[in-house]
Structure 1
Amino acid sequence: MENSHGKNLSFLLLGTLFVSTSGVLGKYIALPAEAIIFCRAILATIFIFIFCKIKKIDLKIKSRADFISFIISGFFMTAHWVTYFIALKLSNVALGMLSIYTFPVITAFLEPFFSKQKLNPVHVFLAVIVLIGVYILVPDFSLENDHLKGILFGIFSAFCYALRNLTIKKHVKEYDGSMLMLHQMVVVAVLLIPTLFFSDFTNLQSQIPLLILVALLTTSIGHTMMVHSLKHFSVATASIISSVQPIFGIIIAYLFVNEIPSFNTFIGGGLILSTVIIESIRSKK
């Protein structure tokens, strides 16, 4: 059992590492947020579809209720991604990624409405620690400050991400994780078709290598692994453990684009990371 837990935890953390590449890629792809997400969804659809065909994964949706649920989940995923990338553009990789990790707080409070689980006092405590960490990250509480705007967009993105995870959780035992991600990518792509008419795709050709990376590493591999992990962890537990993502993101940003985090980022990030360690140990039970 312990080995199984370790394997599942490693799988979740590896998926989190891949998803962490979204910070650097989202910040530095020279396209508007909605254009990046549209291209990302199209490319990810192709990659995941090929994988599903090779693995002979059943892609059929079993009921109309599931079909509607997939659309709702895809809508939340679209809103989450677009607002997250706006947050990255307004602030920086560290603040953008750390602000989105208010979503464990939101998940902990919302999960009892989506399942039979009761509100766990420990999750509330850990959620408060995450909130304190985010508070420390905020440089200046002024709406004229782009960093604060980025953090607010990040928090709204977190709310959408929590709702997406909670709506898709009920399907993970009945459907393959890759199949769920494929249908989500189709919904995202369809919802963002209007971007073809109003967004700026001038730099598209030069940005294709980075778009392929964000579609393959971050989305097709990372997000699929994280959806798969919901078979073994509650949404709240998976959310809190994956709060290590901003730490990975900050390290990646430092190594590849020399973005040096501030002292407050270290303190706030340290608090967020502490919740990951605590929940990783607790989730063994």
Structure 2
Amino acid sequence: MQPVSAADHRKGLLSLHGAILLFGGTALFSQLISLTALDITIIRCFVAAITLLMLLQLRHERIRLSSWRDYGLALLLGLLMASHWVTYFAGMQYAGVAIGVIALYTYPLMTVLIEPLLHRQLPPPMDALMGFIGLFGLWLIAGNTGTEQHPHILTGVFTGVLSALLFTARNLLYKYKFAHCSGAQAMFYQTLIGGFVLVAWLSDDWQHIGALDWTYLLLLGSVFTALSHAFFTTSLRYLKAKTVGLISCLHPVYSTALAVLVLAEVPTWRTVAGGALVLSAAAYETLHGHKRALR
């Protein structure tokens, strides 16, 4: 891969932070939309795919892929994304939302440890340390929940970690095999394939929801899914996957801040302390990763 310029690296960072901020907002819709998490995900996939298709046409970008190999990679990326979402929701069903989220957020550490191996290198010690610090901060945030109320914690954690592994594989596959496609083009195929893969599990509840729920679903699918994932995949074109993984630890911090503003949910000291650790790790990777990119 060719080294990126300072302008491209800055574009990657801006795209990533915009994506993570929008990701943080998706948690609000779980309380605003009167559907199950799986139904919401399936509908948002199709809304996102339609939105991305319109975006590609509006920008006169190519929709068709260049080769059958690219279609095969798009299918694999879509399967990884769909499997990631299914196991993510299963983890939350088994162990609760907080434990499911913290299990998922083992993926930054997985990325830090796995990506250098693709180049036959060992992970830099400071990157591994930042990964551990970020994960410890996330553990503090998740510690606010009453986990003793959930009888299937180990199953939920295992399923959540599997979800993290699938997400890591998806990010690395895009980074090293599919980055020649634009973020919008790549996410169009992933959301479309993901929607078709998951549609078999769609319940009939969506037929009975009101106009407000549909408004939230359209907003979730277009802005908070299509736009956010286009930003996210764009960042993978210009940043190392480990940098993306570490900075993505800001997701629960942004979610907490938005919950305070929108839902008036004031964080506990554990959330504040964990958020400080996560912010520290992400800030270190942002600053030092940018310096390394310029060398």
- Say whether residues 1:201 and 2:206 are aligned partners: yes
Deviations 1:141-174 (A, max 9, x none): 6473688877665544322221211111124542
- Say whether residues 1:36 and 2:40 are aligned partners: yes
Matches of 2:205 and 2:73, distance apart in 1: 31
Matches of 1:25 and 1:153, distance apart in 2: 23
**Unmatched segments (≥5 aa) in structure 1:** none
Q: Percent identity at matched positions?
A: 25
Matches of 2:33 and 2:157, distance apart in 1: 19
Q: Which residue is equivalent to 2:60?
A: 56
1:1-285 map, 5 Å: 2=6, 5-85=9-89, 91=96, 97=101, 99-115=103-119, 118-136=122-140, 137-138=142-143, 139=145, 142=148, 144=150, 154-196=160-202, 198=203, 200-201=205-206, 203-206=208-211, 207-284=213-290, 285=292
Tell me which moved more, 1-10 or 19-28.
1-10
Matches of 1:146 and 1:21, distance apart in 2: 28
Q: How many residue pairs align between the two structures?
A: 283
Matches of 1:98 and 1:51, distance apart in 2: 33
Deviations 1:70-120 (A, max 9, x none): 12211221132344455667645x766555332110111222454566423
Counterpart secondary structure, 1:201: helix
8 Å contact from structure 2 (residues 9, 239) kept in 1: no
* TM score, norm. by length of structure 2: 0.84
Matches of 2:209 and 2:155, distance apart in 1: 26
8 Å contact from structure 1 (residues 30, 203) kept in 2: no
Matches of 1:248 and 1:175, distance apart in 2: 28
1:55 is matched by which residue type in structure 2? Answer: R
Alpha-carbon distance change, 176 to 2 in structure 1, aligned in 2, over 3 angstroms: closer
1:247 is matched by which residue type in structure 2? Answer: V
8 Å contact from structure 1 (residues 83, 154) kept in 2: yes
RMSD across aligned positions (CA): 2.8
Matches of 2:259 and 2:154, distance apart in 1: 20
Matches of 2:17 and 2:53, distance apart in 1: 24
**Unmatched segments (≥5 aa) in structure 2:** none
Counterpart secondary structure, 2:239: coil
Q: Alpha-carbon deviation of 1:282?
A: 1.0
8 Å contact from structure 2 (residues 12, 235) kept in 1: yes
